[in-house]
Amino acid sequence: MSSITTAATPAPPRARKVASRQQWIGLLYVAPAVALVVVFFLIPLGMTAWMSLHNWPLMGEHSFIGLGNYVAILRDIRFWNALRFTGYYTVIVTIAIFVVAFPLALFVERPRPLTNLYRTMFFMPAVVGFASASLLWSWLLNVDSGLFSPAAYDLGLIDRKFNLLATFQPAFWSIIVMVVWKVAGFTMIILMAGLQSIPQDLQEAAVIDGAGPFARFRAITLPLMRRTLALALILSVAGSILAFDQFYIILRGGPRNQTLTAVYWIFNQSFVSFKLGYGAALSMVLLVVLVALSLVQLWLLRKPEGLD
């Protein structure tokens, strides 16, 4: 903003000097961040785009093939299947996370005895890495030496050990439960911050006007949490579309390749089939999908006209 003003109105030389020095100092401050973004994001992104235009095997010579990889993607049914599964998973897991996280946020928002203990407890799984959490659950879910199935068997609830990971539905829902356990605490904290930012007097005024708890939630809490909801939603959707660890570690894409996600497919193409160029092209497609989805979400949750 300041650059536009300085350029538009010719300032006295001295002031201009100060202003430009301030700009330099400002640049200096953001330089480390810019350097990080350039080195670890922009350059790799450019390289990915460049590689996606090549037939680039892991070993041996690579050759330029223009849009050949992208044409191949159009015919790659297994990628589209993986993308469809990823979409299905994203919808289910996002709903599941919010259904669990919102009540938790309402529960821990107000100070009450032991609130801090509850907050810590609910948040705890979020500090575990996805890979370690997956390893833990892969043991819990194991039919012979794990917890759930053997425990149910020993308690006499089932007469034959049930392999949770052997068929699609139980395997898929086991993953959903695991992800909700792992992520809901984090979403809860974001939502809680949003809830706490709603001025108390608005709620009180509504109570005086005779609004019930549900009406208050719908007319005050939800609209004022738009930004928070947008943040939580985008984080959850982006995280779910990039899901990989849990499906790789617990299910290996099984049972029978029914839980191959888009990133899993990219990994397979790049490092199992050694087609780095094709993997790069798939990554670019996924990037476009992800950016588009995020824009749609931002648009849906934009500030309604006339509000603040």
Q: Does 77 bind another protein (CB under 8 A)?
A: no
Q: How far is the CB of 4 from another protein (least distance, A)?
A: 46
Q: Does 145 bind another protein (CB under 8 A)?
A: yes
Q: Does 81 bind another protein (CB under 8 A)?
A: no
Q: Restricting to residues 230-269, name those near another protein by CB under 8 A.
A: 252-257, 260, 264, 268
Q: Does 300 bind another protein (CB under 8 A)?
A: no
Within 10 A of 187 (CB to CB), how many other CB atoms are there? 24
Q: Restricting to residues 18-57, name those near another protein by CB under 8 A.
A: 57
Residue 129 CB-half CA count within 13 A: 6
- Cβ proximity to another protein: between 70 and 274 the closer is 274
Q: Does 58 bind another protein (CB under 8 A)?
A: yes
Single out the segment in contact with another protein by CB under 8 A; choices: 119-127, 159-167, 228-236, 299-307.
Answer: 159-167
Q: Does 226 bind another protein (CB under 8 A)?
A: no
Joined together, the tokens standing for residue 111 give 């100070």
Q: Does 134 bind another protein (CB under 8 A)?
A: no
Among 11, 118, 148, 161, binds another protein (CB under 8 A): 161
**Could you tell me if 176 and 96 are in contact, meaning their C-beta atoms sit under 8 angstroms apart?**
yes
- Cβ proximity to another protein: between 50 and 271 the closer is 271
Q: Does 9 bind another protein (CB under 8 A)?
A: no
Closest-CA residue to 239 (of 187, 284, 300): 187
What phi, psi does 234 have (nearest 5°)?
A: -65, -40
- Cβ proximity to another protein: between 260 and 285 the closer is 260
Kindly list the distances between the CA atom of residue 50 and the CA atoms of 54, 56, 66, 148, in Å, as whole numbers in the listed order: 7, 10, 10, 48
Kindly list the distances between the CA atom of residue 86 and the CA atoms of 33, 40, 113, 236, 291, in Å, as whole numbers in the listed order: 32, 26, 41, 13, 15
As a whole number of angstroms, the distance between CA 76 and CA 72 comes to 6
Indicate the helix (H) or strand (E) that contains 55: strand 54-55
- Cβ proximity to another protein: between 143 and 235 the closer is 143
Joined together, the tokens standing for residue 218 give 């719908």
Q: Does 170 bind another protein (CB under 8 A)?
A: no
- Cβ proximity to another protein: between 17 and 62 the closer is 62
At CA 268, angle to CA 55 and CA 51, rounded to 5? 30
Q: Does 75 bind another protein (CB under 8 A)?
A: no
Interface residues toward another protein, by CB under 8 A: 57-61, 142-145, 160-163, 165-166, 252-257, 260, 264, 268, 271-274
